[in-house]
Structure 1
Amino acid sequence: MPALRIKSKPDNVTRRYSFRREVSYTALRVFSISIDDNSTAAPSVADAVKYALGYVTPIAHTIDWVALSKLSTEALGIPNGLRCGSRFYTSVTLPRNADEALGALCVVVGDDFKQLRCRAPYRNLVLALTLRAVIADELGILPRKIAGGDKLPADAPAAFNPSELLSGSVCCVPSETDRIVNRMALDNEGGFDPSIFDDLYPNGTNAEDSEWF
């Protein structure tokens, strides 16, 4: 009786994609970011995608994917002469774990695209946005969701309000009077002398006297 043969899944997955022409630029840009300066490797869309997936996956839930999709090509440094509205077809071979990570990312991105009610976004779109995310973050323009929003955990810290620094009622630096009172109380209780922290304000005894502020 012949032995049963169990077919194992291949380690790599090859899919055919239809991309906007901007991907021909963004993939090359991300590939150049991912390699060492002395590398002689040929440009590869697959290598760029693998790098982008590793870069984006840990922060995927914090990215505003809709806002990212609306960033202009000018903002991302994509050449004006590139016919971004046109499409090209190519095959991309990824390791199975990277292909599965891209599939999972489609679900995350789909949470932002509420208009796509019947399905998650196509891999074409998500792959293109993943490349965009790396470039946008490098340029310091990656759109992020506001802390405390419905896409973040309920116990996430509230968004920082810079105006709070202008309010004496919420200032974290105690007044000199408070420091003296606290110091006396601690000394009377046999605690440590808080004067050891005076070096926090090297140019004076108060925060107001210090050149740090």
Structure 2
Amino acid sequence: MIEDPYRYLQPPAGKPGNPTSVSDTLALDQGVSPQLYSGTLEQPPQAQMIADRDAFQLPAGTTSIKATIQPIKPPAPVSEGRISGNVYRFAVVNQAGVNLSLHSGTTITVVLRAPNGVSNGTIIHFNGTGWDEVATDNGGLPDLYATNATELGDYAVLVSGAQTPEPSGPTPPPFSITPSPAPTPGPTGGQVPWLVIGLVAAAIIVGVLWRTLGDREP
């Protein structure tokens, strides 16, 4: 399958628009927030979020949660570089519309796909007045980025310098990232980042397949 062209909320001339949004409502899992995976409908998704079971603090009376991802206009310009693709707003609320916060020491994995072939990006998070760069992992595909975030909100991909041209070889097959097992304590008492490890492992496999297909004779 061919990777979908990137869909822009404010498309440049000649580029496709109408990016998708997603809204998933989930029942609690024995009184705690369930394992969560949400992703937009492009192939591969342009925005995804992944959380383990019991990642969120739940107000009394919570019976379900709703996870939403939607493209929005940039809330503020960046001071350096430029935003590549869309800004996405990530939110999780309960059935009463109350925003949910993560438990202390817990993270949620945010995954963003930049426009096709953009391989020099960094994820940024809007802090209410400006943008902060966050620790970013490249998933092995040229335009896929992930971060383990401690809060939800508005995220985008920042590009500095010249934009990487789109690859001329075969496009890698799309894939979706599935939730990983709950994290276990590491030797220092911290949490092993299983979600990012799973992301990188899956991407390496896809990258190998991509290179193999690219080396075949027509």
| Higher relative contact order structure (alpha carbons within 8 Å, sequence separation ≥ 6) | 1
Fold match by TM threshold 0.5: no
**Greater share of residues in helix:** 1
**Greater share of residues in strand:** 2
TM superposition score normalised by structure 1: 0.20
